[in-house]
Amino acid sequence: MPHIHLETLIKAPIERCFDLSRSIELHTLSTAKTGEKAIAGKTTGLIGLGETVTWQARHFGVRQKLTSKITGYTYPTYFCDEMVKGAFRRMRHEHHFRHQSSITVMTDLFEFESPFGRLGRFANDFVLTGYLKKLLLERNYVIKQAAETDRWKTLLLPVPAP
């Protein structure tokens, strides 16, 4: 099963980085190239434990849907989302955050398994791992840019009182 491990250093508070990583709006912004949008479940704001979101996007010229659920959550150091419905046999994305000196270290541990046996393993090795790593790097770049500038203020809107 392919694994992608990324570390991103961000000059911003851990809480801000954690919340930006859970922001539906930031995710949409970071995946603009694929036209990704939230169409069901949690479609705005910050996703939390037990919540699901269904994303629709165009990858490799094909419109696809993927539903993920937040299955683990410890504020502000960890959350995990796992695919519950979509094109993969399995997908799990762990997000880890730690404060180190004056920076936040954001670590992504991403695992996926394609369907279709040998053909799927071939696709993993020669296409999907690189493609997914590029998507994660773009997402992390957008998180870093937002966290280190005032852009985060427009993405982390205050939650209205009930």
| pLDDT tens figures, 114-160 | 765 565 565 556 567 888 999 999 999 999 999 999 999 999 876 55
- Highest-confidence segment of 30-34, 39-43, 56-60, 154-158: 39-43
Residues 6+ apart with CB under 8 A from 25: 44, 45, 155
Is the preceding omega at residue 13 within 30 degrees of 0, hence cis? Answer: no
Q: Is residue 21 part of a domain?
A: yes
Indicate the DSSP class of residue 53.
E
Mean pLDDT is lowest, of 71-75, 90-94, 122-126, 141-145, for 122-126
What is the total count of domains within the chain?
A: 1
Letter for the amino acid at 99? Answer: H
Letter for the amino acid at 115? Answer: P
Q: Is residue 130 part of a domain?
A: yes
Q: What is the CATH number of the domain that holds 24?
A: 3.30.530.20
**Residue 63 three-state SS:** strand
Give residue 119's pLDDT: 55
Are 41 and 52 in contact, with CB atoms under 8 Å apart?
yes
Question: What tens digit of pLDDT does each residue of 9-34 get?
Answer: 999 999 999 999 999 999 999 998 88
Q: Is residue 144 part of a domain?
A: yes
Residue 161 reports pLDDT greater than 50: no
Question: What tens digit of pLDDT does each residue of 127-138 get?
Answer: 678 889 999 999
Q: Is residue 99 part of a domain?
A: yes
pTM of this prediction exceeds 0.85: yes
**Residue 150 three-state SS:** coil
User: How many whole angstroms from its chain centre is CA 43?
Assistant: 14
Residue 162 reports pLDDT greater than 70: no
**Residue 3 three-state SS:** strand
